[in-house]
Amino acid sequence: MKIKEYRTQFIEALTSMYGEGEAESFFYLILEEKQQLKRIDLALQPDLVFSESAIEVWNSILEQLKLEIPIQYLLGKTSFYGLDFEVNENVLIPRPETEELVDWIINSQKSKIKSQNLRILDIGTGSGCIAISLAKNLPNAEVFAIDISEKALATAQKNATLNEVNITFIEQNILETLDLKQEFDIIVSNPPYVRNLEKEEIKKNVLEHEPHLALFVEDNDALIFYRKIADLAQKNLSNSGQLYFEINQYLGQEMVELLEGMDFKNIELRKDIYGNDRMMRTGFR
């Protein structure tokens, strides 16, 4: 079968679920990953054909997409802040909003002395996307990353190797941590923050396939991770250090009040590209 003919069938099969634009984007992502062909190759060579074995692979992926399994898991990879990352069912798929948080941190360091050594801690690292992106773009930084999941840390370590950076990974339950035992210039976290009452807003492909351990918190204590991390920051953040969070869009004001009550200064609440309260920065001065 000609690839362009299969393309039409593939997009038609997924359009009702994903929309034509996203279905088409899936097709070209898979085409590049499985056939090492780009959109331009198909345009220049419209008579290219799929072998029978290739069609079997594509049909298998198509059926899994119909089950709303995220394409990033099906391909085993995704892109984040210009870098490639392995992803699987043990880690969340990195989001564009988190790229904004990383960009904020990196840009905040541009005006500082490049020779200044930084110690950075990423709490709840998952795939390692935050820690690795910071290490790649801040070569003067010594980066540490904590996660409760051994399997997530194994994925993060693979990603650090893939992107040629050195990260110190630590398996640790942050809620049971009394002291980080060293001082950091930057502490950053994108912890679980989706309340159970918000599950109806979560797309099926996320709700049924991404790890709930990294997503959800109880409705009656939605800020549990932030409170704990802020408490640790009081002990382990340097005097001129900065604490960064990705947050629940509905709890921006509650986060401001939490940090004000813990005597943090210069609290900044920032919106993401979609206009939602999504990230915060604070420190001691």
pLDDT digits (tens, 9 = 90+) for 254-273: 999 999 999 999 999 999 99
Look at residue 115 in the predicted model and tell me its pLDDT. Answer: 58
User: Residue 118: pLDDT above 90?
Assistant: yes
DSSP secondary structure letters along 150-204: HHHHHHHHHHHHHTT--EEEEE--GGG-S--SS-EEEEEE----EEGGGGGGS-H
CA atoms of 189 and 124, how far apart (whole Å): 6
pTM, 2 dp: 0.91
CA atoms of 173 and 192, how far apart (whole Å): 13
Look at residue 202 in the predicted model and tell me its pLDDT. Answer: 81
Look at residue 121 in the predicted model and tell me its pLDDT. Answer: 98
pLDDT in tens, 62-71: 999 999 999 9
- Single-letter amino acid, residue 168: T
Pairwise pLDDT comparison (104 vs 285), residue with the higher score: 104
Under 8 Å between Cβ of 144 and 118? no
Q: Taking residues 158-164, what's their average pLDDT?
A: 98
- Helix H or strand E segment including 132: helix 129-137
